[in-house]
């Protein structure tokens, strides 16, 4: 299982939210690039980069940060936030994203997303399934789509998506453990899914629990920034993976 640190961007800063609420912002660094370099130095190979300004503005805002990290580190960057048009999607790839996560637009414009899936393929695109009370939340987690997360994921996987990043919004930033029951349900009922767990990871034990379930990857955010998981822990995990 791949361990993927997260960097969330607001105003050019590396921040974390609690349950996706913008008023809970905590700033951890003024230099996302330096944070990314520290992850790279610990042997990390992948990064989850979220443009929270873009998620609110409905278009990419922090493309320069994506480009900086993609060109000045060897990290494979999965980028999300504000992808609402073909231009946004191409901008993300032009700026060096290895993969792009599609969330809100997969709810609002499913036909367009399936066109992109046909053009780019399942390796480059990740379905973002952000769940709040089991329903898909959109637009920076501030809107409730009313769509059941299991129905949403199953439908898109049947149509060709394999990579699915599922975040339980209630767990995100809480450091109380990931949504293991939800992930277990997804893995047991959706054939062909490559599940990326996100939200709530508080210790390395949580990381191993996600791995035991059969998750393909786990995103870790606040636990690193708060010191619950040290860079040395990341390094040890990577060494044991090789």
The total number of residues written for the chain in this structure: 242
Catalytic residue among 8, 53, 78, 88: 8
d(CA 69, CA 98) in angstroms, rounded, equals 12
Find tokens 């690193």 and name the residue. Answer: 224
Q: Residue 73: which H helix or E strand, with range?
A: none
Catalytic residue among 51, 78, 88, 130: 130
- Name the token pair of 17: 């939210």
Contact 52, 20 (CB under 8 A): no
53 assigned to active site = no
- Name the token pair of 79: 């980028």
Contact 161, 196 (CB under 8 A): no
8 assigned to active site = yes
According to DSSP, the residues that pair with 145 across neighbouring strands are: none
Q: Dihedral through CA 201, CA 204, CA 205, CA 207, nearest 10?
A: 60
SS3 at position 28? strand
The set of catalytic residues is: 8, 130
């Amino acid at each position: 299982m791949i361990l993927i640190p997260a960097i969330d961007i607001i105003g050019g800063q590396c921040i974390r939210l609690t349950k996706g609420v913008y008023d809970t912002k905590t700033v951890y660094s003024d230099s996302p690039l330096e944070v990314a370099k520290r992850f790279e130095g610990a042997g990390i190979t992948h990064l989850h980069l979220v443009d929270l300004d873009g998620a609110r503005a409905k278009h990419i805002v922090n493309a320069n940060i994506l480009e900086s990290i993609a060109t000045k580190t060897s990290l494979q960057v999965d980028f999300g936030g504000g992808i609402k048009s073909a231009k946004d999607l191409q901008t993300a790839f032009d700026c060096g994203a290895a993969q792009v996560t599609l969330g809100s637009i997969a709810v609002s414009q499913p036909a367009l997303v399936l066109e992109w899936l046909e053009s780019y393929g399942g390796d480059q695109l990740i379905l973002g399934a952000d769940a709040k009370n089991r329903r898909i939340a959109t637009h920076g987690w501030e809107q409730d789509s009313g769509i059941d997360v299991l129905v949403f994921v199953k439908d898109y996987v049947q149509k060709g998506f394999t990579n699915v990043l599922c975040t339980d919004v209630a767990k995100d930033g809480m450091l109380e453990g990931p949504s293991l029951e939800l992930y277990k349900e997804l893995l047991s009922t959706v054939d062909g899914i490559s599940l990326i767990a996100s939200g709530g990871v508080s210790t390395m034990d949580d990381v191993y629990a996600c791995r035991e379930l059969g998750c393909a990857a786990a995103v870790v955010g606040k636990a690193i920034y708060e010191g619950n998981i040290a860079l040395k822990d990341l390094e040890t995990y990577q060494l044991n993976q090789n």
